[in-house]
Structure 1
């Protein structure tokens, strides 16, 4: 019997428990396979995200995309953007481009694990089982999170851990199609 590799926990498994709210996408449903537009080697376009039901005291938002199944031992950060004003409750498809088109003024993107300050699409190794892509929206207790655009996603994450009022996530999956 071949033993299946264990799945890594979701990125929030070790964070303090906080209230939840709702995040949805017009580009995928919960657990759906990401479209080619959201794949690194194809369209490399961030998906649409919309959220509601966050706490009244929210002062800003942050959005991340994380692959806990990347074969790195530490997962893979595909996107990290913060300092999104509390008045913004939706990001259009493509907002994570390096040109900042679709992001509100003042939003900060840091380098993803591909090394670019933008959304980096799904890119699991060929032959891997489907990877999970967790899109998380954080409702934060301050307007400016603190790090600048040269921070790592891990440095952003430590700030998120201590300033999150509530958190919502949605997840899609992707595996490299087998050629046959």
Structure 2
């Protein structure tokens, strides 16, 4: 018969190893604030300015200078405001995403350009999220020339809303809260 202490470690081991084996898809969302502490938004009422997606034990995102990058530590991008997870989706493998790895950053935010991308377009294409008309109405666009087209695209906030509809949930739960760095 297992003693109570041994049952705890057995249960903890099962939870740890099973969650590692079935990690699912995770998408990290980042916020930015201006010098006065106000959120920098990509659209009116928005919250997020950058996203990254888990691939094996790394994170894939689009960098302004280096284009699409696979990085080993999510915190290289800063502290994520939120990570959404779908444990039922199979995790992404690096080999499946080679088509994206050489893409450059797209400062025109064009959905139709196959050679360039931006962070939320990259994640949306990987997860088959459809684009919608973009408004460029957030605080980041104020005072800039309106050279941006009103074509189809996906903002980080559009992506967040769609993933919530698809059943993505905040990652980690209680254990993440207790053992957070």
Higher relative contact order (CA 8 A, sep 6+): 1
Q: Name which one, 1 or 2, has greater alpha-carbon Rg.
A: 2
TM (norm. structure 1) is: 0.33
Higher helix proportion (structure 1 or 2):
2
TM (norm. structure 2) is: 0.33
Higher strand proportion (structure 1 or 2):
1
